[in-house]
Structure 1
Amino acid sequence: MSDVRAGMLLVATPALADPNFAETVVLLLDVNDDGSVGVVLNRPTALAVADVLGPWGEVVAEPEVLFQGGPVETDGALAVALRRGDDTGVLGLREVVDRLALLDLDTPVELVDDELDGLRIFAGYSGWGAGQLEQEIEEGSWYVVPGLAPDVFRSDTTTLWRDVLRRQPGDLAMHSTRPADPGLN
């Protein structure tokens, strides 16, 4: 579990039984002794950000829609930003890893607009209590792999699951071509 940290990706394995996470890629935002929090990167909704959060709709990466971050607190919004520079002291931004940060959506857009290279807003999040994620990984429900900033902000997420697996070394890359039900192969 030492490699499970903020900025890593959880890639759902076929063994994961929860339909909320079938073929998902989750960006971990916070990992500590109390649990873990992340957002699903490949579940766009049809709801435009501008319809819900007004001026943020002009700042978000395409597609300019909310993404379903997970099954927890889906009536709330969480924003992941890519900072333009290395300054970690920008008002409204809290560093996650490297240039990825969480953005406080109560911050006026004009204070952070020039500081952003990318922004994605998620309705809800994915959360695990103490020891829960570790257990799911041991059961074979998740592959834990390094994340890249472009994974968060790509405009077409339909192949994200396969693309993340495909770039992994060794046998893990072969899983990107496995059918959902290997028995039908």
Structure 2
Amino acid sequence: MNQALLKLNHHFLIPTPQLQDDRFVDTLVYICRHTKEGAWGFVVNQPLPNSVGALLADLDLPVSQQMMNTPAVDGGPVRIEAGFVLHTGQPDFKSSFVIAENVCLTTSKDILQHLAFGELSHYLLCMGHCSWSKGQLEAEVYAGDWYICPADLPTLFLTPFADRLAACYAKMGIKPERLAANLGYA
């Protein structure tokens, strides 16, 4: 397969048993941007003990009870102090870009006011992110470290965190209990 043809925007990555990075065990990674310069995305199935409401309250923004019950997400090991908002809708904020139809990423603080007033129906507040340098993700995929699954809005925003990985396995027809830790080549 030609590595130049691999485009992973708006796809999920699932680590295979052979991936040698403990930070990604049982994770589901959503890829937001994949170019010839590298890739980045977010772990979307690892809720944090901190709620969205608690994080917004720390910024003196109003919060609802629903936000106090909505966990922020451990988005990945890079810049864990930074918040990123994956959301449905349009890129109407200062620093937003479109990932796929009806999915955007916003990194500017102006979105937080909209979160505080309940103006976004589907969102994930991710603390930290995942990134790969030029050619790194392609090499990992071709080495067999990741399964690739097309992303969908229900899995990204509506499926309970604990069920997201299983939903992708089911979508791909994979039975995780049958996976082997090592690949063989003939």
Q: TM-score, normalised by structure 1?
A: 0.81
How is 1:1-185 mapped onto 2 (pairs within 5 angstroms)? 1=3, 2-54=5-57, 55=61, 58=64, 64-83=70-89, 88=90, 90-92=92-94, 93-107=96-110, 109-110=113-114, 116-154=120-158, 156-168=160-172, 173-178=173-178
Q: Deviations over 1:87-138 (max 9, x none)?
A: x462344211110001234115249967633011111000000000011111
How many Å separate the matches in 1 of 2:80 and 2:32? Answer: 17
Per-residue deviation, 1:174: 3.0
How many Å separate the matches in 2 of 1:59 and 1:95? Answer: 29
> Cα gap change, 1:20/1:111 in structure 2, threshold over 3 Å: closer, same or farther?
closer
Is the Cα contact below 8 Å between 2:54 and 2:68 reproduced in 1? no
Is the Cα contact below 8 Å between 2:45 and 2:162 reproduced in 1? yes
Letter in structure 2 aligned against 1:127: S
Is the Cα contact below 8 Å between 1:75 and 1:124 reproduced in 2? yes
Instruction: Indicate the percent of aligned positions where both proteins have the same amino acid.
Output: 22
Per-residue deviation, 1:5: 2.5
Specify every segment of 5 or more residues in structure 2 that has no aligned partner in the other structure, as ranges: none
> Cα gap change, 1:38/1:111 in structure 2, threshold over 3 Å: closer, same or farther?
closer
- Give secondary structure in 1 for the equivalent of 2:165: helix
Q: Deviations over 1:37-67 (max 9, x none)?
A: 0000111011112222234854988951111
> Cα gap change, 1:91/1:132 in structure 2, threshold over 3 Å: closer, same or farther?
same
Letter in structure 2 aligned against 1:12: P
> Cα gap change, 1:56/1:112 in structure 2, threshold over 3 Å: closer, same or farther?
closer
Q: CA RMSD in A?
A: 2.8
Is the Cα contact below 8 Å between 2:53 and 2:68 reproduced in 1? no
Is the Cα contact below 8 Å between 2:33 and 2:39 reproduced in 1? yes
Per-residue deviation, 1:178: 2.6
How many Å separate the matches in 2 of 1:148 and 1:56? Answer: 31
Per-residue deviation, 1:4: 2.7
Is the Cα contact below 8 Å between 2:18 and 2:181 reproduced in 1? no
Letter in structure 1 aligned against 2:129: Y
Specify every segment of 5 or more residues in structure 1 that has no aligned partner in the other structure, as ranges: none
- Give secondary structure in 2 for the equivalent of 1:117: coil
User: How many pairs were matched up?
Assistant: 174
